[in-house]
């Protein structure tokens, strides 16, 4: 009888020991990360929510193996009190400690907003089309707002002349930059941001820029017009000041600028090639038919083009032609005879 009792005790101890080992394995296994995946899950932690509710969602979304064990682990680590409410992005494969750190840091998903990149040389219409494609902004509404926009006193936009021949009132005044707005931002607010950015950039120019403009007999509007021509003509960075010098020299001598980009501006979609009939289009923007600058900018100029418009290279060049070797660089000339030679040289360098 005594022997039976002893063996009973041994059996109970063995069962308890086995259960303890099994429980330890269960906890250890439950705290192992889930198989890694690139599938992102959104985890919501409302204000005032408990760790039990959080753990249940983590388990249901496949981020952890066991809500119960994760809750025990939080108590053991004395975590949960610093978790910040919000929506989180998590992926399977994160360890419990990584999840805890994520929640303590409050690394929540930022509210989706509006992000717009306006490339240098874009027109108002191209900006409107991009907003329509990306954000569903009504194109015609945007164009109407542009036409009716009145800049704040002291701003560059406030100096736009009342000229009926302007194709788009704010052409050249919506500065090319990457913008971020909150969802729900109105087109009017977007326009204001872009015009204000131009004012900020003008504030970065050398202190004598306004005085220099006055000495050259140019208004801010004319300067931006000239800068937009440079922007549309130049690809090679070092040529901005040279092209500006050519434009300034031709203006001084009363020569038509004969810039193709001013004719391209008359089309909603630029042409691959201009024909002679295109150069005969009757428009104040056509610098083949009209001397001087067009009524206004033909695109949004970069700060580099604005600087080049104010501070042109000191040169006697009156002509330039684009090289046809694929470099997008130009050949410059002081005389028409040299210009004709450059045209021939450019043609010879054309890639087959």
CA atoms within 13 A on the CB side of 326: 2
123 and 97 share one domain? no
Q: Where are the alpha helices (DSSP H) in 116-208?
A: 124-135, 139-147, 187-202
Residue pair 172/265 in contact (Cβ under 8 Å)? The answer is no
List the one residue out of 277, 274, 231, 225 whose CA is nearest residue 251: 225
Residues 73 and 188 in one domain: no
**Dist CA 215 CA 309 (whole Å):** 13
What is the tally of structural domains in the chain? Answer: 2
Q: Tell me: do 75 and 147 sit in the same domain.
A: no
The answer to whether position 27 is within a domain reads no
Distance (Å, whole) CA 126 – CA 145 = 15
H runs (alpha helix) in 161-219: 187-202, 209-216
Per-residue model confidence as pLDDT tens digits over 68-105: 889 888 988 889 888 988 888 888 999 999 999 888 88
CATH number of the domain at 62, please: 3.30.1490.480
DSSP 296: S
Q: What is the pLDDT of residues 250-284, one digit of tens each?
A: 999 999 999 999 999 999 888 888 999 999 999 99
Same-domain check for residues 121 and 66 = no
Question: 280: domain range?
Answer: 117-315
State pLDDT tens for residues 27-74.
888 889 899 888 888 888 888 888 889 989 899 999 999 988 898 889
Q: Which of 85, 110, 135 marks a domain boundary?
A: 110
Domain membership of residue 16 (yes or no) is no
Asked if residue 146 is part of any domain, the answer here is yes
What is the model's pLDDT at position 24? 74
| pLDDT (tens digit per residue) in 293-310 | 999 999 999 999 999 999
């Amino acid at each position: 009888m005594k022997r039976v009792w002893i063996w009973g005790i041994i059996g109970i101890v063995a069962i308890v020991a086995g259960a303890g080992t099994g429980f330890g394995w269960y906890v250890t296994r439950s705290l192992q990360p889930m198989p890694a995946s690139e599938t992102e899950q959104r985890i919501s932690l409302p204000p005032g929510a408990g760790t039990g509710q959080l753990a249940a969602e983590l388990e249901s979304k496949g981020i952890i193996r066991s809500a119960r064990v994760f809750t025990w682990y939080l108590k053991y680590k004395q975590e949960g009190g610093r978790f910040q409410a919000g929506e989180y992005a998590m992926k399977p494969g994160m360890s419990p400690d990584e999840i805890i750190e994520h929640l303590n840091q409050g690394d929540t998903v930022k509210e989706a907003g509006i992000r717009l990149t306006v490339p240098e040389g874009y027109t108002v219409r191209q900006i409107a089309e991009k907003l329509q494609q990306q954000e569903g902004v009504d194109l015609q509404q945007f164009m109407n707002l542009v036409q009716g926009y009145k800049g704040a006193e002291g701003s560059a936009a406030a100096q736009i002349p009342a000229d009926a021949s302007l194709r788009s009132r704010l052409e050249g005044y919506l500065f090319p930059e990457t913008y971020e707005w909150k969802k729900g931002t109105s087109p009017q607010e977007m326009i204001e941001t872009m015009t204000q950015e131009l004012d900020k950039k003008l504030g970065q120019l050398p202190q004598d820029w306004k005085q220099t403009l006055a000495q050259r007999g140019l208004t801010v509007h004319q300067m931006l017009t000239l800068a937009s021509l440079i922007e549309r003509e130049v690809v090679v960075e070092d040529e901005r000041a040279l092209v500006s010098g050519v434009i300034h020299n031709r203006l001084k001598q009363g020569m038509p600028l004969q810039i193709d980009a001013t004719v391209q501006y008359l089309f909603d979609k630029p042409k691959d090639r201009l024909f002679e009939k295109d150069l005969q289009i009757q428009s104040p923007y056509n610098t083949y038919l009209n001397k001087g600058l067009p009524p206004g900018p033909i695109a949004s100029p970069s700060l580099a083009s604005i600087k080049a418009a104010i501070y042109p290279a000191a040169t006697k060049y009156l002509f330039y032609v684009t090289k046809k070797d694929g470099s997008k660089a130009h050949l410059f000339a002081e005389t028409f005879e040299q210009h004709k030679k450059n045209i021939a040289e450019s043609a010879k360098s054309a890639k087959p």
